[in-house]
Copies of this chain bind each other. A is one copy, B any other.
């Protein structure tokens, strides 16, 4: 299970309230690990109980708002987890299933769906490119920044590959309509 470790990393990067974490998740870690705010609050409560993080009330903020920070226990847990071998992530690609169904029972009119996904991935790619331009255009990067850039480049390559493949698939299906 990786969500708590994703949260640990995120809190290490910047101590935060649950709400902030949920929002920050959406804009960075969610690119490769999605979680809803309910899941995040629940997980934070568990992690606090386990002694991995602690919360402090924020002075001057509304009651109930608590900022989390990582304890030594949490750091060593993160190290332990990073050293353990994770099993191959199980792929889940619904589009592939649909194409296979299409192959099995004739044309199902997937063009629209493919087009939609093409747009989605194009947007995501544009998004990544903006981030790269904005945050990583310095000539020399720190170790941390170099790694983050490498992660981002992975996302960019993935989106580019997907877009190329979707375009190919679309033209294959259109060719099909013509005949």
Contact = CB atoms under 8 A, between A and B. Distances in A.
Q: Which secondary structure characterizes the binding site on chain A? A: helix
A9 B106 CA distance: 12
B13 A92 contact: no
B98 A33 contact: no
Interface stretch (A50-58, A127-135, A151-159): A151-159
A45 interface: no
Q: Chain A: interface residue count, which band?
A: 35 or more
A99 B150 contact: yes
B154 A96 contact: yes
A59 interface: no
A33 B105 contact: no
A13 B120 contact: no
Contacts of A21: none
Contacts of A97: 2, 5-6, 9, 29, 32-33
A99 to B, nearest CB: 5
Contacts of A8: 101
